[in-house]
A and B are shown apart, each in its own frame.
Chain A
Amino acid sequence: MRNMRYLEHVATLILDKEACIGCSLCTVVCPHQVFQIRDGKAVIVDLDSCMECGACVNNCPVYALKVTPGVG
């Protein structure tokens, strides 16, 4: 998958660092390993590989994630 990447700077994923409790569920559900847990908090490490599937948004227990996909 590393050799297949789509357009850059378009993903609308936003992480509210303050709200994050570091439960790591986003790292589990993300099919593109967009997140990593660093110092007890989630960090977006690869925003451009985000495909806006919404798995992390749906499962985040504290609603710290947001995505507003286009109509593609």
Chain B
Amino acid sequence: MLQKYSSSDGLQHIKSEGVAILSSMQGVSQVNFNSDICLSNSLSQDCSSPNNLKKNSSFTKYEKPGYFISHFVERFIDTEVGQIPVVSSKLTFKDRLQTLGARSGITRNNYKVVPGLYAIGMPDENSEVLVTSNFKLTFDILRTALQSDLKADLIVNSSIKSSDSNKNSNKFEKINAWILVLDTLGVNVWCAAGKGTFSTKELVNRVKLCCLEKVVKHRRLILPQLSATGIRAKDVKKECGFSVIYGPIRALDIPSFIVNGRKIVDPDMRQITFNFRERLILTPIELTVGFKAFVFTAAALMFISLINSGLFSLQNGIKAELINTLDRGFISILFLLVGSLSGAVITPALLPFLPFKEFAAKGIIVGAIFSFLALFISPASSLSISAMLALSLFGTAVSSWFAMNFTGATPFTSPSGVEKEMRRFIPIQAGAAFLSLVLWIYSAF
């Protein structure tokens, strides 16, 4: 065992740490480190035993031609079913940079980890199996949450309390577990469950593919509560023999859940939240998704601004009229921007404080206020009443539309409710936009 971990390589420091944990761990002898019977994870070739390796090779025995070892993998542990990657519980600069990319929407649609079995810490055959999606953001949240500070008051299990005589209020709980990553096409747990990729079928297949029954002795899987939308626990048990235990909603609560004997000790762990931070973190994506529509609308606004009495008669000369057209174009784009930010950022941020239940109505309030304010800061003094009316109507309609769009990002809007809201507000938004267009063109003459 020591020999296997002692090959010289860049990861030597981490690996020697692993050896220390390994040798101090109970029950490790029960895991068979020698035979590679089962398949998918196993890439090792028997002929390349550590003895045959050049002692000063810069490669580890885990590196294979044509494969990259993911940067979040610290080392590998050998099990009966092959080598299982052990993931780091800390985020690197690269992870954080990637998070920014995904949150802003630039890389969101292709931000995946390879599905399959991973390990965190030093799990053995009695360790829990945590099931998750293969969206890298989700995966990152899970692997970092498992070593979070665990509040001592959440630990009700007396044996754990007594074993730790030092009564530190923030106990550092290191969870050793297996992580089973399903192929959800890079979509988070809840959305994947809703769209049917985090499903009973995928779970059962993945359990079988990873030969989970040879990795752990027990027959239970801990699933995120929100995956229940796509899973039928009874069928999972029937089809692969593993029983489903629905854990907490948030990964951060998993240590408490496991330490307390797979029990929810705080009812809030089963309740979804949507606080200020959770709302705000979704707003960049709203803007990125709306960006295409924004550019298209901005181009249309420029074009509409060409409809201008002066440009056809050229009474003040072509240069002056072009400047006038550009001015009108830019000011309308300014109100498009104000409306977009009002609906996609400010409305979500202030969501619970705004009157009305319909998001579109909340968007109208915010949009109207900010459009009105924009009239003062913009070079609008030269504008006629009809132009001012047109611009604020436009900003308000845009805001309402973006706000309505946000119903798709919240964790409490029912599809039936959204349908009702859309039936009511789309005609209002379209009407306002049309009226605004008429007023805007009228104001040009």
Contacts and interface: CB of A to CB of B under 8 A. Distances in A.
Interface residues of B, number: 38
B414 A10 contact: yes
A32 B274 CA distance: 12
A22 B109 CA distance: 41
B352 interface: yes
A18 B415 CA distance: 27
B441 interface: no
B270 A28 contact: yes
Interface in B185-225: 190, 193-194, 225
A25 B419 CA distance: 29
A51 B68 CA distance: 42
B240 to A, nearest CB: 16
Interface string A29-72: 11111000000000000000111111110110100000011111
Contact of B411 (A29, A31, A52): A31
Given A7-B420, A10-B417, A72-B421, A51 B270 contact: no
Nearest to A30: B270
A55 B270 CA distance: 13
Contacts of A7: 357-358, 414, 417, 420-421
B311 interface: no
Contact of A31 (B226, B267, B413): B226
B357 A29 contact: no
Contacts of B272: 1, 31-32
Interface of A: 1, 3-8, 10-12, 25, 28-33, 49-56, 58-59, 61, 68-72
10 contacts: A1-B412, A6-B357, A10-B420, A11-B417, A25-B233, A51-B412, A55-B226, A59-B228, A70-B418, A71-B415
